């Protein structure tokens, strides 16, 4: 990209930023509901027979968002809002004249409810029009909660202490929410909260909402929420939660001569509200035995794969540490650029696996101070030596830290800074600093459209590396229903090295553009016909030439009213290998340096997950580097009831190259049984040909009551040997009890 192109790009950004700043900004819809004091006792059982729910409901009335925006819903919804000194209560009556067709196939904690009859609620307790709490349930009583940051989609990893019960009868279903004030942060000086509620009627795939019922607006855009008033003197108590845990079990590994090692340990997490909106979180002798194992991936690229964070301590309030996150496109650059990635703390990448490093103590401070969002994290890891290997991985105890601050202005904009310190491997002295700016509006050109501009700059300081250690870029997003556009551009220096981040490529300049138009015809029972195109370009600055070019075109996509989806996609790739690449170690297949062009044709079909049996199938065929590739993805899911779900997933590649042939397979099987929304048994088996390893995790989660949990976890693996036989490789058994003392 030459200087003239950069100059034009900067002028475009300047024009867009001026338009965003000058655009009329609506903080919220002019809709208000009153929360009334509780009269009498409320028993949270899902049956709305308490005196509180016998009176007239609130003034909340829903309007269709999809498929007929602006029209009344086909079924009525009634909402009651009440509060006592210790909790907010929300009761919802979902009328349904065809109650026998209510879809309720999920009961797991934090399940995806997009194909179930469900109710979703957002609470902007600071009334800052950008952050909120998210609560949802379906007719089976599944408990789903999360945190919304900067009007993005809710992150469901946060687990709060709250309660919900549901009940199905002959005329519909009901839900009763109890949200303790000790669970949520709020400003006691603000008497108005942001609030919105949405209902999904699975039978007709109909979505309705209270405030801002527009297809261009998502429920998570709390800037467009309504208001609730009337809550007086809510109590958070002392604001102290003490959560000790005890753990027992054993481990046995073949690499350690099959010796059985007993495990007995204990620790504690302490949460204290320094103020009503500033929380201190302390973890001592942390253990993540209950964490679900990573879902394996097949890697046919030259770069590291991205695995999401799953550990609860790092996931709570994780949104505040996000850096340069853009609207409509997730983290800036997707997994190309993540300058802070909490998974680097307590997990160190080895040649074949991530090693779990003990965390001795961790301290986190998150919340709001005036118009500032702040986040501080400091973790002390313990020493680590790879078991059974004198020449294996050896790590000293390390201190790792990150700080984040954002100054909010207008309704959706901010300027922020981030700083990290420490290298988890101990190989270097490493720091990273960055600044980001976001300008956004939901009323662009006074047309109720979304537009945002994100700019960032970052620099690392690493012992032994000097110069070319900065990165910067920008993104413009126009994420709306009919037309969605996004352009990203960034430059990553050759020596840019965020040791607490994720960065698969260095020394590159990345440009990407994607566009989608989604008309809504009214024929053949079609809901939408999205047309999609995307282009990505990676330029290697140290080589002075391009490295990767990719074009994706989706000319045919049909989304039906039934929830079924069929489509076709064409991909064209150009790759330049600057050195030989061992694409498959197991079969010793290496591609020589040079330029390669290949394309593929991909066909996919997805049936509605509201059915008892659903299928996702993706088949691809085409050229691949010096040869050809055939690819199949198949997922078959069976849901007998809200209690029982099982699925089978197959990902298969047949690679035929001049340098050699090989196949890859990834097989995943899940079986979940929910006795109640509080007792779930999850079983997860996976096998892949790269590791030739079968892994099993069986996990029982029993929520004794919200906040108090019992876990029973078995992890076992079998490794294929030289005789093509599987032998036991590793066994890990844990029993863990968490108990909360709430003051």
Q: Is the pLDDT of residue 83 over 80?
A: yes
What residue has token string 């100054």? 407
pTM value? 0.89
CA atoms within 13 A on the CB side of 126: 23
Question: For the purposes of burial, counting CB atoms within 10 Å of the CB of 7, is it exposed (0-12), middle (13-18) or buried (19 or more)?
Answer: exposed
- Give the pLDDT score at 19: 54
User: Which carries the bigger pLDDT value, residue 302 or residue 13?
Assistant: 302
Model confidence at 29, pLDDT cuts 50, 70, 90, reads low
d(CA 150, CA 28): 14
Q: Is the pLDDT of residue 405 over 90?
A: yes
Q: Is the pLDDT of residue 351 over 60?
A: no
Q: Is the pLDDT of residue 657 over 60?
A: yes
Q: Report the chain's C-alpha Rg in angstroms.
A: 26
CA atoms within 13 A on the CB side of 532: 17
- Give the pLDDT score at 162: 95
- Give the pLDDT score at 310: 86
143-149 contacts, C-beta under 8 A, 24 or more apart = 143/109, 143/110, 143/677, 144/109, 144/110, 144/111, 144/113, 145/110, 146/110, 147/317, 147/319, 148/122, 148/220, 148/222, 148/319, 149/319, 149/320, 149/322, 149/325
Asked if the bond preceding 272 is cis, omega within 30° of 0, the reply is: no
- Give the pLDDT score at 331: 38
Q: Report the 3 state secondary structure along 491-523.
A: EECCCCCCCCCECCCCCEEEEEEEEEECCCCCC
Pairing mode, strands 144-148 and 226-229: unpaired
- Give the pLDDT score at 23: 52
The 10 Å Cβ neighbour count of residue 152 is 21
CA atoms within 13 A on the CB side of 70: 1
d(CA 34, CA 192): 10
356 Rama sector, left if φ>0, alpha if ψ -120 to 50, beta otherwise: beta
Residue pair 666/688 in contact (Cβ under 8 Å)? The answer is: yes
- Give the pLDDT score at 426: 85
Single out the residue of 100, 64, 95 nearest to residue 79, CA to CA.
95
Length of the chain as a residue count:
743
Pairing mode, strands 526-528 and 545-560: antiparallel
- For the record, the structure tokens of 581 come out as 């690449």
Question: For the purposes of burial, counting CB atoms within 10 Å of the CB of 2, is it exposed (0-12), middle (13-18) or buried (19 or more)?
Answer: exposed
- For the record, the structure tokens of 269 come out as 């997490």
d(CA 148, CA 506): 31
Angle ∠(534,340,384) on CA atoms, nearest 5? 125
Of the chain, the percentage scoring pLDDT greater than 70 comes to 93
Chain segment 86-131, per-residue pLDDT in tens:
999 999 999 999 999 999 999 999 999 999 999 999 999 999 998 9
Mean of the pLDDT values across residues 311-321?
87
CA atoms within 13 A on the CB side of 212: 25
- For the record, the structure tokens of 492 come out as 């990553």
Q: Report the 3 state secondary structure along 548-602.
A: EEEEEEEEEEEEECCCCEEEEEEEEEEEEECCCEEEECCCCEEECCEEEEEEEEE
- For the record, the structure tokens of 707 come out as 């906040």
Residue pair 227/28 in contact (Cβ under 8 Å)? The answer is: yes
Chain segment 461-485, per-residue pLDDT in tens:
999 888 899 999 999 999 999 999 9
- For the record, the structure tokens of 219 come out as 């429920």
Pick the CATH number of 31-229 from 2.60.40.1190, 3.20.180.10, 3.40.50.300, 3.20.20.70: 2.60.40.1190
- The whole-chain average pLDDT of the chain stands at 90
């Amino acid at each position: 990209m030459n200087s003239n192109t950069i100059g034009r790009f900067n002028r475009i950004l300047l024009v867009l930023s001026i338009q965003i700043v000058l655009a009329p900004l609506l903080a919220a819809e002019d809709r208000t509901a009153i929360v009334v004091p509780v009269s009498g006792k409320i028993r949270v059982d899902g049956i709305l027979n308490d005196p509180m729910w016998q009176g007239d409901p609130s003034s909340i009335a829903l309007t269709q968002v999809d498929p007929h925006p602006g029209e009344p819903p086909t079924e009525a919804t009634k909402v009651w809002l009440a509060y006592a000194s210790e909790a907010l209560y929300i009761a919802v009556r979902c009328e349904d004249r065809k109650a026998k067709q209510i879809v309720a196939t999920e009961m797991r904690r934090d399940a995806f409810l997009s194909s179930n009859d469900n109710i979703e609620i957002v609470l902007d307790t600071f009334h800052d029009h950008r952050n909120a709490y998210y609560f949802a349930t379906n007719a089976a009583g599944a408990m789903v909660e999360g945190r919304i940051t900067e009007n993005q989609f809710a992150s469901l990893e946060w687990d709060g202490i709250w309660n919900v019960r549901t009940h199905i009868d002959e005329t519909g279903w009901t839900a009763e929410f109890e949200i303790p004030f000790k669970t949520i942060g709020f400003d006691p000086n603000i008497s108005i909260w942001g609030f919105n509620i949405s209902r999904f009627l699975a039978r007709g795939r109909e979505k309705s909402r209270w405030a801002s019922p527009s297809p261009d607006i998502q429920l998570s855009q709390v800037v467009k929420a309504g208001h609730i008033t009337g809550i007086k003197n809510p109590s958070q108590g002392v604001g102290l939660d003490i959560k000790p845990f005890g753990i027992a079990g054993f481990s046995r590994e073949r690499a350690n001569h099959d010796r059985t090692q007993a495990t007995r340990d204990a620790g504690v997490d302490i949460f204290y509200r320094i103020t009503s909106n500033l929380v201190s979180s302390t973890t001592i002798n942390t253990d993540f035995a209950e964490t679900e194992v990573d879902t394996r991936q097949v890697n046919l690229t030259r770069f590291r794969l991205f695995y999401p964070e799953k550990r609860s301590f790092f996931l709570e309030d994780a949104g505040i540490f996000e850096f340069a996150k853009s609207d409509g496109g997730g983290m800036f650059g997707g997994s190309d650029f993540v300058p802070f990635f909490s998974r680097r703390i307590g997990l160190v990448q080895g040649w074949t696996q991530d090693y779990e490093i003990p965390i001795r103590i961790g301290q986190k401070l998150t919340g709001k101070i005036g118009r500032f969002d702040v986040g501080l994290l400091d973790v002390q890891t313990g020493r680590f030596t790879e078991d059974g290997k004198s020449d294996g991985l050896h790590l000293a105890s390390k201190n790792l830290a990150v700080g984040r601050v954002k100054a909010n202005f207008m309704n959706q904009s901010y300027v922020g800074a981030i700083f990290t310190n420490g290298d988890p491997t101990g190989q270097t002295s490493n720091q990273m600093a960055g600044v980001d700016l976001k300008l956004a509006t939901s009323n662009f050109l006074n047309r109720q459209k979304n537009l945002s501009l994100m700019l960032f700059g970052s620099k690392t300081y690493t012992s032994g590396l000097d110069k070319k250690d900065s990165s910067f870029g920008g993104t413009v997003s126009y994420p709306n229903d009919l037309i969605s556009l996004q352009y990203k551009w960034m430059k990553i220096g050759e020596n840019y090295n965020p040791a607490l981040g994720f960065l698969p490529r260095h020394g590159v300049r990345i440009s990407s553009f994607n566009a989608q138009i989604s008309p809504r015809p009214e024929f053949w029972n079609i809901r939408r016909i999205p047309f999609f195109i995307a282009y990505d370009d990676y330029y290697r600055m140290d080589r002075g030439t391009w490295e990767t070019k990719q074009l994706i075109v989706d000319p045919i996509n049909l989304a039906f009213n039934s929830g079924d989806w069929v489509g076709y996609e064409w991909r064209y790739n150009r790759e330049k290998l600057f050195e030989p690449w061992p694409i498959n170690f197991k079969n010793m297949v290496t591609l020589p340096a040079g330029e390669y062009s290949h394309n593929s044709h991909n066909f996919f079909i997805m049936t509605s997950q509201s059915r008892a049996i659903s299928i996702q199938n993706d088949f691809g065929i085409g050229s691949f580097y010096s040869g050809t590739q055939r690819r199949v993805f198949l997922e078959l899911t069976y849901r007998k009831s809200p209690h029982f779900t099982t699925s089978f997933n197959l990902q298969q590649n047949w690679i035929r190259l001049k340098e050699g042939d090989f196949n890859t397979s990834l097989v995943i099987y899940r079986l979940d049984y929910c006795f109640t929304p509080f007792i779930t048994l999850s079983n997860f088996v996976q096998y892949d040909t790269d590791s030739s390893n079968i892994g099993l995790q069986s996990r029982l989660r029993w929520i004794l009551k919200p906040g108090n949990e019992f876990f029973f976890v078995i992890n076992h693996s079998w490794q294929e040997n030289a005789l093509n036989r599987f032998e036991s490789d590793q066994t890990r058994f844990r029993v863990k009890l968490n108990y909360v003392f709430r003051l």
